[in-house]
Amino acid sequence: MRSPERLVIASRESRLALWQAEHVRAALQQLYPQCAVSVLGLTTRGDQILDRSLAKVGGKGLFVKELEQALLDGRADLAVHSMKDVPADLAPEFTLAVTMKREDPRDAFVSSTYAGLADMPAGSVVGTSSLRREAQIRKRYPHLQIQPLRGNLDTRLRKLDAGDYGAIVLAAAGLKRLGLAERIRNVLTPSESLPAAGQGALAIEIAAGREELREWLAPLGDAETTACVLAERTVSRDLGGSCTVPLAAYAVIEAGQLRLRACIAQVDGSGMLEAELTGKPEEAESLGRRAADQLRAGGADKIIAALQGQA
């Protein structure tokens, strides 16, 4: 197989997104030293609309559409995303070529005042952009106030430091990737806050049909992360998962077995439904479908219909 001569990576322009793109660029440069690899920075609608929650303005797709357009019109060969920002259903013009090795998938508690959610007194304000996190926090800590939190990672930290919130909850992976791990006061276990499908993993998206490009990118993939994320995203896809639904799905491989946990709830944490399945990693998609079926059997469709009626 011939080596690529030139590759262009499409990326959002936030500091974290550019770190992710540079991480991929460096990996490609190591694989193909003669290849000229560059990053094309783009601003997405999700980056521009900061005064409303994602659930109210169109969901996860707002972070990928401009990057996908660059793939279609030939300005870029690949796009790098946080996997949790990628819609569960991709348009047929695109394909996820690679799932890279996962960083810490857990949620992080960040505060200058409190050691953890359990230490926060009644009425304390917690900032989060995620209905999934909000539902799980409300279920465990109904005495806390949850307020929306938008903006890139640095903006969110500034709002915390300005005193707008008593604490904020973010993905641990982003903080660690930007060298901000010292800001984490407490990492929430999956039992405390089950992660979003794909959280902590990087996705590389390409235009469908570019098989040679897919082959060039294949060495960047991680088999274990790929299986886990496939199971998680299948749950989300089968339940029509979006930013309007507090849905979590998280898989790990232990002793050769894939263990998948999923949950869905109302935003206030009520009516939470949970599913847990174990099987072989090669059964990842089947496990995801079965987990979605379990949640549906418990009443997930009613929760989703109610939430969509409120949107």
Helix (H, G, I), strand (E, B) or coil at 260: strand
Structure tokens at 72: 């279609």
Give the pLDDT score at 50.
45
What is the pTM assigned to this prediction?
0.91
Measuring CA to CA, which residue among 163, 173, 129, 120 is closest to residue 147?
129
* Catalytic center residues: 85
Asked if residue 135 is part of any domain, the answer here is: yes
Distance CA 295, CA 259 (A): 16
Helix (H, G, I), strand (E, B) or coil at 261: strand
Give the pLDDT score at 1.
72
CA 243 to chain CA centroid, nearest Å: 11
Residue 111 sits in the same domain as residue 157: yes
Helix (H, G, I), strand (E, B) or coil at 181: helix
Residue 137 sits in the same domain as residue 112: yes
| CA 82, 87, 93, 99 torsion-angle sign | positive
Cβ atoms of 9 and 76 closer than 8 Å? yes
Cβ atoms of 78 and 71 closer than 8 Å? yes
Asked if residue 196 is part of any domain, the answer here is: no
Give the CATH number, domain containing residue 261: 3.30.160.40
Residue 173 sits in the same domain as residue 43: no
Give the pLDDT score at 242.
66
Give the pLDDT score at 51.
45
Distance CA 279, CA 40 (A): 40
Give the pLDDT score at 311.
54
Percent of the chain predicted with pLDDT > 90: 85
Asked if residue 228 is part of any domain, the answer here is: no
Asked if residue 46 is part of any domain, the answer here is: yes
β-strand partners of 263: 248, 274
Residue 216 sits in the same domain as residue 132: no
Residue 140 sits in the same domain as residue 178: yes
Residue 82 sits in the same domain as residue 36: yes
Give the pLDDT score at 310.
65
Residue 68 sits in the same domain as residue 132: no
Residue 178 sits in the same domain as residue 29: no
Residue 29 sits in the same domain as residue 98: yes
Give the pLDDT score at 306.
87
Asked if residue 195 is part of any domain, the answer here is: no
Distance CA 94, CA 97 (A): 9
Cβ atoms of 174 and 198 closer than 8 Å? no
Measuring CA to CA, which residue among 227, 286, 273, 225 is closest to residue 246?
273
Residue 148 main-chain phi, psi, to 5 deg: -65, 150
Domain total of the chain:
3
Asked if residue 1 is part of any domain, the answer here is: no
Domain extent, residue 135, equals 107-188
Give the CATH number, domain containing residue 213: 3.40.190.10
Residue 94 sits in the same domain as residue 205: yes
Give the pLDDT score at 151.
86
Asked if residue 113 is part of any domain, the answer here is: yes
167-171, strands of its sheet edge to edge: 145-148, 125-128, 167-171, 107-110, 186-188
Asked if residue 260 is part of any domain, the answer here is: yes
Residue 140 sits in the same domain as residue 273: no
Low-confidence ranges of the chain (pLDDT < 70): 44-63, 241-242, 309-311
Residue 25 sits in the same domain as residue 86: yes
Helix (H, G, I), strand (E, B) or coil at 99: strand
